[in-house]
């Protein structure tokens, strides 16, 4: 059974392992996730199956009032295709709505299969930045109006 829950400090190694497995190097550093637990305790959510963390999603406030960013969504290969990413995204958007956010933002590589997931949940492409993380690192900026 898949359980979605907030992360705790002891979950940071599992989150970091997923970050590295999904995104390779350079991932967000492990201390970033540790600080996220302190700064946004309801916004670093985990997907857990049989006591094993198989995915996470991190959101945080944006610079503009009423906006938030989905910073990262990672799901282990073994848990893909089972609705794990969908459940994490829905849970994160619910948290943002409860916190009064009106808009969620994220970036995704144009070839990322999760773009379809985001679009099915209300995200629309705002624009393509061909060098978001530097030359050869394009990203779609996507936006979702939360109701």
Share of the chain above pLDDT 90, in %: 95
**Domain of 86: which CATH number?**
3.40.630.30
Structure tokens at 108: 């995704």
Average pLDDT, the chain: 95
pLDDT in tens, 4-14: 999 999 999 99
For residue 109, report the phi and psi dihedrals to the nearest 5 degrees.
-60, 140
Our count of domains for the chain comes to 1
C-alpha pair distances (Å), 29 with each of 20, 25, 146:
9, 10, 30
How would you classify residue 81: left for phi > 0, otherwise alpha for psi between -120 and 50, otherwise beta?
left
Q: Does the pLDDT of residue 26 top 80, yes or no?
A: no
Rounded distance between C-alpha atoms, residue 104 and residue 64, angstroms:
11
Domain that holds residue 127: 2-145
Reported as a pLDDT band with limits 50, 70 and 90, residue 20 is: very high
Q: Does the pLDDT of residue 27 top 90, yes or no?
A: no
Is there a contact between 43 and 33 (Cβ–Cβ < 8 Å)?
no
Rounded distance between C-alpha atoms, residue 86 and residue 49, angstroms:
15
Structure tokens at 145: 């109006």
């Amino acid at each position: 059974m898949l359980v979605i829950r907030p992360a705790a400090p002891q979950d940071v190694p599992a989150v970091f392992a997923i970050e590295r497995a999904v995104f390779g190097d350079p991932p967000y550093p492990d201390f970033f996730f540790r600080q996220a637990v302190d700064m946004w305790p309801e916004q670093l959510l985990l997907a857990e199956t049989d006591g094993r963390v198989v995915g996470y999603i991190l959101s945080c406030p944006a610079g503009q009032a009423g906006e938030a960013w989905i910073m990262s969504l990672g799901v282990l290969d073994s848990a893909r295709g089972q609705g794990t990413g969908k459940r994490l995204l829905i849970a994160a958007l619910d948290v943002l709505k409860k916190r009064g956010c009106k808009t969620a933002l994220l970036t995704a590589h144009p070839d990322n299969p999760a773009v379809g997931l985001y679009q099915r949940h209300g995200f629309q492409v705002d624009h393509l930045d061909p060098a978001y993380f530097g030359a050869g690192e394009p990203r779609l900026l996507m936006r979702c109006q939360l109701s």
